[in-house]
Amino acid sequence: MQNPLFLHLSDSATSIQIDKLQGASDYRSWKHDMEIQLTANRKFGFVTGKTAKDETDEVKAELWELCNNMVIAWIHNNVSPPIKKSIHYYTSVVDVWNHLEARLSISNGSRKYILNRQLYELKQNSASINDYYTQLQGLREEIDVMNVYPKTVSPTPDMLAFMATMSKCKEESRLFQFLNGLTESFRPQRSQILMLSPLPTVEAACALIQ
């Protein structure tokens, strides 16, 4: 396993490139993408504080400082100029991360409401089928991430049947949302899809219409 205090010679402030954070509206998706990148580079422990500075070992302490500053540089490079100004003088990744969380995080209830409203109101309009589906899927995925369900260790046959039914209902709901947002020019295709038995997945319906 790669040591979290290891930095490759090719690592630089631009080694990580994701969509720049603009504000509260895109904070959750930005945070998710940044967590993936930091984890892939074995540096997420700097954000959580798990990878602490070893004050008893001068060499390790120096390596920690280098890595800490590199992670701060990665964050600086992936936020908008106004946000960068607000975190410019922080010297600890934990402090940077906590500041962004406190400033930009929206409560689950508020964010779920916003996402569901956007989902209900989303229409294809002038977008291509692929772009419309991508927007729809992005909203659904963020909502799904925020919904935490209890784990079932030893499900009974009745529970498995119930879960299968719920999964089918959820898939049908996704299909209906997709079809509902299509422009009226796709009315014939929508009617044909709704006559199919069983109903296709939303991915299959998207492929059929394209």
What is residue 2's predicted lDDT score, i.e. its pLDDT?
Answer: 75
CA atoms within 13 A on the CB side of 47: 21
Boundaries of every domain in the chain: 24-104, 108-209
The residues pairing with 79 across neighbouring beta strands, listed in sequence order, are: 21
Reported as type and span, the H/E element at residue 76 is helix 58-77
First and final CA of the chain: distance in angstroms?
45
Ordered DSSP codes for 143-205:
HHHH------SS--HHHHHHHHHHHHHHHHHHHHHHHHTS-GGGHHHHHHHHTSSSPPPHHHH
What is residue 107's predicted lDDT score, i.e. its pLDDT?
Answer: 66
What is residue 97's predicted lDDT score, i.e. its pLDDT?
Answer: 96
Residue type, 119: L
Work out the number of other CB atoms within 10 angstroms of the CB of residue 39: 12
What is residue 9's predicted lDDT score, i.e. its pLDDT?
Answer: 86
How far apart are the C-alpha atoms of 171 and 8, rounded to whole Å? Answer: 44
What is residue 99's predicted lDDT score, i.e. its pLDDT?
Answer: 93
Query: pLDDT (tens digit, 0 to 9) for every residue of the chain, 210 residues total?
Result: 478 999 888 899 999 999 999 988 889 889 999 999 999 999 999 999 999 999 999 999 999 999 999 999 999 999 999 999 999 999 999 999 999 998 888 767 788 888 899 999 999 999 999 999 999 998 888 888 777 777 778 889 998 899 899 999 999 999 999 999 999 999 999 999 999 999 999 999 999 988
Closest C-alpha among 134, 132, 136 to residue 173: 136
Length of the chain in terms of residues written: 210
What is residue 173's predicted lDDT score, i.e. its pLDDT?
Answer: 93
pTM, full prediction: 0.65
